[in-house]
Structure 1
């Protein structure tokens, strides 16, 4: 059931316009019901059926049916009056950049007022616009209604089915292109990645340096202690080194000195590597790695085995994506 948020309605600075919206909404619903009923009554079979089973209703409504245009024009006059009042307010408040923008933006209000059969039903657009405006200002909450939830569920289901079919079609087309030996990936490497090789090197170098500074520098002491303990543990498990302690007099001293020296060397080497990565000196190292993965077009020689492996990998990745796309999430929401 649609509930009205009275607090937002009272606190709003457009209270009078919202009241007019509710009045117009009621008139529009009444007018549309009148139009639908008159369209049904227009069938001779319906008139004969009413004459036979409800002659009183038929005799009362038939004069109204004959003057339907007059009664509809009464509604139209109210709608047009409200339209011109809002247009005048929009001009005064400078809602739009030009005074004549309002009728173009709210064209459905004018077209729906034309007293022609098919155009009358465009008044439903005005009902939707009023409901949307009230929902936008949180006067009502359309999403809490069962009608909205019902329609939204099947809309989302339809859109998911449609988008899934489109995505699957596109991915299948990509697979066919890859199987036919498309030069897409070579073009990506040569025309997109290679010209930006220096930029990629700079970016990766900066990211590696930042990661090393943030992850290593604050934990330098803890990392050194961990490395020394792991090296010490490994050396104690070494059979040849453990035999040194059996040397008379100097055996235990030599063993302990070797353990400390090896642990210190390993820790210093690791620290030096991480210090280099955390500084600008890592750029040459990163640039060499990028050059290996992105050789110049002259250096890069075609490798059929590598190409076949890459094609197979790409096709398998696309198959995995297609398998995920085929999952129907809307079915899990069915009651």
Structure 2
């Protein structure tokens, strides 16, 4: 059941307009119920049944049915009056850029006021618009109603089923393209990536330098200590180096000196590499790496299909399809 949030109603400073909304909502529900009953009453079998059950009610309603348009025009007059008042307020408050935008934006209010045939039932759009406006201002919360939850559940289930079928269809098409040896990968490499090789080199160079500055430079002391410890442990486990300590007099000294030298050399080399990467001079190094991965296309080379890569891609897509087939909406079923 809908609950009215009186706190948000007061905070909105539009109490009068919301009161009009609730009034119009009540009139629209009464009017739609009146229209539905009159439409059903138009069948002769209904008139005969009502006459048999309660002749007084049948006799009372027959003149109303014959002059239904008159009674409906009374509702239409109220609806049009409210529409004109809101239009005037929108013009005064400059809600829209032009004064004549309001009737175009609220076209369903005008069409619903046409007292002819099926146009009357379009007044349900006005009911929806009022409920949406009240929900938007958090005066009411339609998401907590059982009707909304019921329709939303099946709406989400329908969307999931539809989107799953579309995704599976697209992935199956991608698998077929890969199996047939689609030139997509060659086009990506030769037509998209290769012409932008210089841009990729600049971008990677900046990213690597930034990563080296922010990641290594503040922590180089800790990294050096870690490297020296790991090298020292590795050297102590080396059988050939451990035999040096058996040399008379100088053996232990030589072993200790070698351990310190090797540790210092490794730490210094790593330090120098990361220092170079943190500078703009890394551009040439990054360019060489990019050139290895994006060599200049040679038109004379034949396209060689890599069966292992094709199988890998198709298996990945198959796993994605299997996951897409999982029906999450069924988990919410009672």
TM-score, shorter chain, exceeding 0.5: yes
Farther off after superposition, 26-35 or 7-16: 7-16
TM (norm. structure 2) is 0.96
Residue aligning to 1:194 = 194
- Residues 214/302 of structure 1: CA separation in 2 closer, same or farther (3 Å cut): farther
Q: Which residue of 2 aligns with 1:252?
A: 252
1:183 to partner: Cα distance: 1.4
The structure-2 alpha-carbon separation of the partners of 1:182 and 1:92, relative to structure 1 and needing over 3 Å to count, comes to: same
User: Cα–Cα, structure 1 residues 300 and 281, in superposed 2: closer, same or farther, change >3 Å?
Assistant: farther
The residue that corresponds to 1:104 in the other structure is 104
2:308 corresponds to: 309
Pairwise CA distance, 1:80 = 0.6
Shift of 1:63: 2.3
Structure 1 residues 152-191: aligned runs within 5 Å: 152-191=152-191
- Map 1:98-247 → 2, pairs under 5 A: 98-247=98-247
Residues of 1 paired with 2:284 and 2:316: CA distance?
A: 33
Q: Which residue of 2 aligns with 1:41?
A: 41
Distance 1:299 1:284, change over 3 A: farther
- Structure 1, unaligned stretches of length 5 or more? none
SS in 2 for 1:209: helix
Q: CA offsets, 1:54-111, max 9 Å, x none? A: 2232222222222211111110010011111111111112211111111111111111
Q: 1:305 to 1:96 in 2, by over 3 A?
A: closer
Q: CA deviation at 1:220?
A: 0.8
CA distance in 2: counterparts of 1:100 and 1:161, whole angstroms: 42
- 1:278 & 1:316 partners in 2: Cα distance? 39
- Give, in whole Å, the separation in 1 of the partners of 2:206 and 2:235: 37
Give yes or no for the alignment of 1:15 onto 2:19: no
Structure 2 residues without counterparts, runs of 5 or longer: none
For 2:68, the equivalent position in structure 1 comes to 68
Separation in structure 1 between the aligned mates of residue 263 and residue 104 of structure 2, nearest angstrom: 81
Q: Note the C-alpha offset of 1:320.
A: 2.1
Cα distance in 1, alignment partners of residues 47 and 237 from structure 2: 104
1:28 and 2:28 matched = yes
| Root mean square deviation of aligned Cα | 1.5
Asked whether the 8 Å contact 2:175–2:314 carries over to 1, the reply is yes
Which residue is 2:261 aligned to?
Answer: 261
Are residues 1:288 and 2:315 paired?
Answer: no
Say which SS state the counterpart of residue 304 (structure 1) adopts.
Answer: coil
Q: CA deviation at 1:318?
A: 1.9
CA-CA distance at 1:124 after TM superposition: 0.2
Normalised TM-score (structure 1): 0.96
| Secondary structure of 1:122 counterpart | helix
Distance in 2 (CA, whole Å) between partners of 1:303 and 1:188 is 14
TM-aligned CA deviation for residue 303 of structure 1: 5.4
* Aligned CA distance change for structure 1 residues 259 and 104 (closer, same or farther; 3 Å): same
Counterpart-to-counterpart distance in 1, 2:251 and 2:302: 59
The answer as to whether partners of 2:189 and 2:294 remain within 8 angstroms in 1 is yes
How many correspondences in the alignment?
A: 334
Cα deviation, residue 299, structure 1: 8.0
Give the conservation status (yes or no) of the 8 Å contact 2:181–2:305: no
Measure the CA separation in 2 of the matches of 1:241 and 1:12: 82
Q: Which one is further off, 256-265 or 318-327?
A: 318-327
Partner of 2:331: 332
Aligned to 2:322: 323
